[in-house]
A and B are shown apart, each in its own frame.
With several copies, the nearest count.
Chain A
Amino acid sequence: MNFDYSDDQKFLKKEARKFLEARCPITSTRSVLDNDSKAFDHKLWREVAEMGWTGAAIPEKWGGTGLGHVELCALAEELGRVIAPIPFASTVYVFAEAILAFGSDAQREALLPGIASGDVIGCLATSEREGVILPEEMSARVVTGKLSGVKIPVTDGDIATYAIVAAQDEAGPGLFVVDMIDEGVVRETIKTLDPTRSAARVEFKDVPCERLGAAGEGAALLSNIFDRAAVLFAFEQVGGADRCLEDATSYAMERYAFGRVIGSYQAIKHKLADIYVQNELARSSAYYGAWALSTDAVELPEAASAARIAGTHAYDFAAKENLHTHGGMGFTWEVDCHLHLRRARQLGLALGGLPHWRERLVRSLERYSTL
């Protein structure tokens, strides 16, 4: 039993923090925020790939560094702290993980080296409309190897070179790998609540595609892909939430009201203590998720759900109260509080909202119960 990063992992994390502090200052995120035509920070993406981060969980034989999933979690935490404006989550936590877990050897060979090198940007397209959508309700269809349908929103759908698309064919719900460079792919960048990340409405018109995993298994595959991604998202959430706590705390030590720093008022002290408590609980759940992910444990479904619920709660709460602690300044565009508020929502919705995850969790608990 050991519920912490190893010394090597801590070293990696420390180096990652140093790197991101130098290469991903908030001006990097703001350059994407304030520029509608800039979908992500290309330079940072390149550098991150060169550091081997995009291939951290990809075995060396497919071009990765083979560090492992816990190491990837450590990197995710650091990327979350700095609100990194790159398609890392879509490409690494979702697309690469899906290919790793369910791709054929041919698919792995074709796609994983590109992810490790940073040439491939991947995305996952499932949503088609407002509200939760089940695989068997999706209208996207695959007929004789050609995909048709509309997906919205697709995070990084406007910049992805490959996509995994949930659609139905004669066998039922399935997942399909699509080369996004096909002319049948019509993408339209859409505005979201988090302009530091890119998203699109994507229409597929008879686009050639290749099945991922077994026929008719789309729902089960998707569920596992969401679980795996949820753990990695949770680390980004914990990183972001911790950063909010640090920012709020240091502002509370600087800002004076009524002749005292506001951090000396008990209402602020206890608010920040509440954030700390939520963050530490979320961190613990994320660690457990990391273990389940890295060991392919049977506990992954509930570990992932718990990590996601705790992570989403923590980041949402920390982002809101960080802004509140900053007072009027916190509500200005120039102060960074709203960037966390936006990213917290982006991370909290990109894999589906909490109602859906809570239900998933309770179903897992029911499975185990002897009732």
Chain B
Amino acid sequence: MDFKDSPEEAEYRARVRSWLKTNTPTSRINRTIGDEDSQSIAAAKAWQAKKADAGYACTTWPKEWGGAGGTPTESIIFEEEEERLGLGNMATVFTMGLGMCVPTIMAAGNEADKKRFVVPAMRGEEIWCQLFSEPSAGSDVAASRTRAVEADDGSGDWIINGQKVWTSCAHYSDLGLLLVRTDPGVPKHKGLTMFWIDMKSSGIDVRPIHQAAGSSDFNEVFFTDVRVKDSQRVGEIGRGWNVALVTLMNERLSVGGGFGPNWPELMELASRLPGVEGKGSVLQDGGFREKLANWYVAAEGLKLTRLRSQTALSRGQTPGSEASIGKVVSARQTQVLATEALDRLDQYGIVANDDATSIIGGFQQGFFWGAAMRIAGGTDEILKNIIAERVLGLPPEIRLDRDVAFKDISRKI
């Protein structure tokens, strides 16, 4: 076990640092994902291209796809160094594409698609979004109802009608990975098909969702008679669920480590707030200290667990098991820390601080976004089921809908 860089790793890190020093972008992103303005997106694209030229975009991808053919550890080192300079969010608009959609194309798409999409995505030229969730298919993605029927003009094209939801970045995405139902007459997992879609296609209407936290970072996407070619199909007809599983597995691997400020920021806040009944600071209060210790342990445990996953990856093993842990713990911790911060601010905690980059503003955002994180990308309950079933081998839930034709399943919105 070695938690320090090996000589080669140290050398790589030094190279990264020196490159970052001379190439740091002047324009940054200061808003959350989905809420970026066009200037932020331009900055992100420019930075991604610069990284690609230097071999720091998609470090681990093979050179034939524009990657650097590097090790997972090198990738981590680059991310750590980016993070140190506050560049951690410069790549988030590409997360859907590079973390989920394009890997799916690489795994399940045809050669033409790979040639067409991989490099532009890697260079930040094209932004992708993921079109899976629907109003009545949240945790149960395979219950998607958006329909694709073959055009009756003999073209082999597909006509798509329906609605997707919770699509981050849809309003500025170039391309989307779209899960649709092509056959409602067979059981639900068997009637799905995957397509890629040009987001500028006629008939696509992207509407922002006004969220509980106040902002609008996600979208609803409506499809009205949207025509796609059969060549846009990713994988076989009726095999869409298997393709989606590739995406979802990549999603869980790329789900990050918590939202906004964490224990160090709370510790800093506590050091400047008066303690219980006015004595000393909150940081000197035993009640706070006890919780701080537990939060530190959980946060560090998560960080180290992610590093263990990376070690497994770098040894060619499939991590998977550890990857499910992250969000279960960090989403809830985001809620808990935010609540504690507000409690310790006492009456003042209710005063809205709109600067999400400040400590207090960050915790207030976290108060809402913790709730969102416990839902997005698999609810707490779904993730625990995954751990119980895939890691521990416990029985799956009793399914009443598995062998029934999709159209006959009892359901409501």
Query: Shortest beta-carbon distance, B234 to chain A, in Å?
Result: 25
**Using a CB–CB distance below 8 Å, which chain B residues touch chain A?**
1-6, 9, 73, 76, 133, 135-136, 138-140, 143, 165-166, 209-214, 264, 267-268, 271-278, 282-283, 285-290, 292-294, 296-298, 300-302, 304-305, 307-308, 310-312, 315, 321-322, 325, 328-329, 335, 339, 342-352, 354, 360, 364, 367-368, 371-372, 374-376, 379-381, 383-385, 387-389, 391-395, 397-402, 404, 409-412
The listed residue (A281, A332, A351) touching B212 by CB distance below 8 A is A332
Q: How many contacts between A and B, using CB within 8 angstroms? A: 331
Q: Within 8 Å CB of A252, what residues of B?
A: 394
Q: Are B350 and A341 in contact (CB under 8 A)?
A: no
Q: Which of A132, A266, A284, A352 contacts B308 (CB 8 A)?
A: A284
4 closest cross-chain pairs (CB), A and B:
A259-B401, A281-B301, A338-B212, A358-B293
How many residues of A are counted as interface, with CB atoms below 8 angstroms from the partner's CB atoms?
103
25 examples of A-B residue contacts, CB within 8 angstroms: A1-B311, A2-B1, A2-B6, A3-B304, A132-B346, A192-B352, A249-B393, A256-B410, A257-B139, A259-B399, A259-B409, A269-B384, A273-B387, A280-B322, A285-B301, A310-B301, A313-B297, A320-B371, A323-B371, A333-B211, A334-B210, A349-B350, A353-B345, A354-B343, A369-B267
**A277→B409 contact, CB < 8 A:** no
| A318 on interface, CB distance cutoff 8 Å | no
Interface stretch of the complex, out of A107-115, A123-131, A172-180: A123-131
Q: Give the residues in chain A near B289, CB-CB below 8 Å.
A: 358-359, 362
Asked if A20 is an interface residue, CB under 8 A from chain B, the answer is no
Asked if A137 is an interface residue, CB under 8 A from chain B, the answer is yes
Tell me the dominant secondary structure on chain A's binding face. helix
CA distance A193 to B348 in the complex (A): 11
Partner of A3, one of B285, B311, B409: B311
Distance, CA A240 to CA B399, complexed state (A): 35
Residues of A within 8 A of B (CB): 1-5, 70, 126-127, 129-134, 137, 152-153, 190-194, 199, 245, 249, 252-261, 263-270, 272-274, 276-277, 280-285, 287-288, 290-292, 294-295, 302, 305-306, 309-310, 313, 316, 320, 323-324, 327-335, 337-338, 341, 345-346, 348-359, 361-362, 365-366, 369, 371
Dominant secondary structure of chain B at its interface with chain A? helix
Residues of A within 8 A of B298 (CB): 281
Q: How far is the CB of A69 from the nearest CB of chain B, in Å?
A: 10
**Contact, CB under 8 Å: A291 / B344:** no
The verdict on A268 contacting B381 (CB below 8 Å), with A131-B282, A290-B1, A365-B267 known, is yes
Does B384 contact A273, Cβ atoms closer than 8 Å? yes
Complex contact A4–B1 (CB within 8 A)? yes
